[in-house]
A = this chain, B = another copy of it.
Amino acid sequence: MYNHRIKHPSLLDKIITAPQAAAYIQNNTVVGSSGFTQSGDSKAVLPALAERAATDPLQITLITGASLGHGTDGLLANAHVLKRRLPFQVDPTLRKDINKGEVLFIDQHLSETAEQLKSGHFPEMDIAILEAAMIEDDGSIIPTTSVGNSAAFAQLANKIIIELNMSVHPNVKGIHDIFFTGNFPNHRIIPITRPDMRIGYHSIPVDPDKVIGIVITNEKDSPADIAPPDTCTTAIAGHLLQFFDDEIKKGRLTRSLLPLQCGIGKVANAVLSGLLDSDYENLTMYSEVLQDSTFDLIDAGKMRYASGSSITVSEAYYEKIFNNIDHYKQHMVLRPQDISNAAEVIRRLGVIAVNTALECDIYGNVNSTHVSGTHMMNGIGGSGDFARNAYLSIFVTSSTAKHNDVSCIVPMVSHVDHSEHDVDVIITENGLADLRNLAPRERARLMIEHCTHGDYKEELMDYFKQACKAGGQTPHLLHKAFSWHTRFKNTGSMKSDVLQPEIY
């Protein structure tokens, strides 16, 4: 049944079970696993490892592309298997352990993990677990729904376990483009000059002698679960589309825009959906994740080509795409994440990047990761790779969270992921602040007037005015800069009347 998917003869007798594979992993092993935004992840070996740890405790370093599906990070965290975890996660259970300091989490720009492994900044990788749809006669593997860091892991790991996933049709071959930049001082140019350019191989080279086992699986990716557009996300998308229109009128953009990158989530989805109903044409994406709305745009003939590192879609879209994969192959490609997120390519193509903020401050600094400055949400992911190098770096957020008790526009962000230099435009449902070509004091006025929720506008303007009296390029009152955050902690709301009910 799986024989025709293992074309390299010597590998045919390496089939093992998931528990057998998991047994290769020892205490302190450094493990690399395929998986990017829930797609193409390990479905058998990592869960088997979690199970084994219940009776045979061990701790590992786990490095992935990005987040895993199927609650695998949670299973591993519950079983106390994770000593060190990088570069990204989205799991509620793991998140708790990270914030307790029980799992050492290294939050990384997603373009950099492979580079740093290659350079020896990290310890050697002992074992890589790589999901594949097929093994070619030369031992190379056809990945499934993501590439992530798998190509680098295959090169760098001492041993390799392949999860051959029978649920992914072998005709997935051809959607990947595998390229290696090589080592310093002979690092290669990444010769991509258009999103649709192919520069590498269809499969990931694997040394068959490093393969210690092949585990047969038959489970699909966890489906994406994307909330439909609501009033807030629709308003944000509306402001952004209006902004695009204005840029087109000013002659700075055309109706094809420039290659788009959209973070995953409901706002990104609303933005891409908004593009469906307008007269854009020949759109392209140079992004990380291809989601439902990407395929809607392709189907509508509005998007010519989409480049990413994973396909993360709902169940219905998954069926549609893989039943018509030969059609979609002409419109998309999946790349290693050090290529999809390469500074070089993002700058060269002039990507328009749309990412989500947890909070922004009046000067345009953005916090995407740390709730209240301390507690990790997911990680910086690729947002920094794109925001720094984009032609236009746009951040979106609703103006408040927690039923209005938190203002997402604050005097000073409690953690900085993206500094004012890397943020061109900020959008909330209230409006858009175009921060280009502005000094901090000018930025602040726009952020307060256009983006801040009515409940917080006045106090924010007060803060800014008082701070200006104390002076500076970037006026602040350090003793009050986090007063909204501490107020929220102490009273459950950032609003000042909650703090001092006695004065009302």
Q: Which residues of A contact B (CB under 8 A)?
A: 84, 98-101, 104-109, 112, 115-116, 119-123, 181, 184-189, 191, 193-194, 250-252, 258, 342-344, 347-350, 365, 369-370, 372-376, 380, 384, 388-389, 391, 414-417, 419-421, 424, 436-439, 441-442, 467-468, 470-476, 478-479, 481-482, 485-486, 489
Contacts and interface: CB of A to CB of B under 8 A. Distances in A.
Given A424-B121, A471-B100, A187 B349 contact: yes
Contacts of A122: 436-437
A104 to B, nearest CB: 4
A374 B474 contact: yes
Interface centre among A343, A376, A380, A417 (most CB of B within 10 A): A343
A350 B476 contact: no
A472 B343 contact: no
Given A471-B101, A475-B374, A350 B184 contact: yes
Contact of A416 (B101, B344, B365): B365
A373 B478 contact: yes
A119 B473 contact: no
Contact of A478 (B186, B343, B372, B380): B372
Nearest to A112: B421
Nearest to A342: B347
21 contacts: A99-B473, A100-B471, A106-B438, A120-B250, A121-B252, A121-B437, A184-B349, A185-B194, A187-B347, A187-B349, A189-B193, A189-B348, A342-B347, A343-B388, A373-B478, A374-B470, A374-B473, A375-B473, A414-B476, A414-B478, A479-B482
Contacts of A116: 436-437
5 nearest interchain CB pairs?
A374-B472, A376-B473, A184-B350, A416-B416, A104-B439
Given A121-B252, A373-B478, 14 more contacts: A98-B473, A101-B441, A112-B421, A119-B350, A120-B250, A121-B436, A185-B350, A344-B344, A370-B472, A376-B472, A376-B473, A415-B474, A419-B419, A478-B489
A258 B121 CA distance: 15
A374 B471 contact: yes
Contacts of A372: 472, 478
A439 B380 CA distance: 14
A421 B470 contact: no
B350 A343 contact: no
Given A414-B478, A419-B416, A439 B105 contact: yes
A479 B486 contact: yes
B376 A105 contact: no
Contact of A185 (B123, B349, B482): B349
A226 to B, nearest CB: 26
A421 B109 contact: yes
Contacts of A258: 184-185
A398 B455 CA distance: 44
A370 B473 contact: yes
A427 to B, nearest CB: 17
A112 B347 CA distance: 10
Given A101-B441, A468-B101, A391 B107 contact: no
A115 B346 CA distance: 13
A51 to B, nearest CB: 26
A389 to B, nearest CB: 6
A120 B253 CA distance: 10
A271 B318 CA distance: 56
A109 B388 CA distance: 10
Nearest to A490: B479
A389 B343 contact: yes
Given A104-B439, A108-B421, A258-B185, A472 B99 contact: yes
